[in-house]
Amino acid sequence: MTTSAVPNVLFVCVHNAGRSQMAAAFLTHLGGDRVQVRSAGSAPADAVNPAVVEAMKETGIDISAETPKVLTTEAVRSSDVVITMGCGDACPYFPGKRYLDWTLDDPAGQGVDAVRPIRDEIERRVRGLLTELGIPSS
């Protein structure tokens, strides 16, 4: 399924301030050096959502130093798996890539109580992705 020894996974959402940041953090934390992880946004925000940072801190993962990044064609081209989370047609398509679309509530403008269930669902999906990729989670 992958074109490299270590799979490259890219998470994409609109602002790269919530869902894709949480997914990338979980995959990095659980997959370690057995997977390369990136996240990006089609219209990146100025900062990661503070409620997302707080919700992730509750799991022991600190993403306070992360910054939203712009989606580039090269990021998609160099990925084996591209997981979109509400970016629609803004994500470029390249044959031979595995594309998944995770429909998840947007944590933008939500408090930490609303972010927790989104965070937990993202963790569940990331664990499933690791299993699909044949990567044991840490």
Active site residues: 13, 87, 91
For the chain, state the CA radius of gyration: 14
Q: How far apart are the first and last CA of the chain?
A: 22
Q: Is 82 in contact with 97 (CB distance < 8 Å)? A: yes
Count of beta carbons in the 10 Å neighbourhood of residue 19: 33
Three-state secondary-structure class, residue 11: strand
Half-sphere exposure of 81 (CA within 13 A, CB side): 21
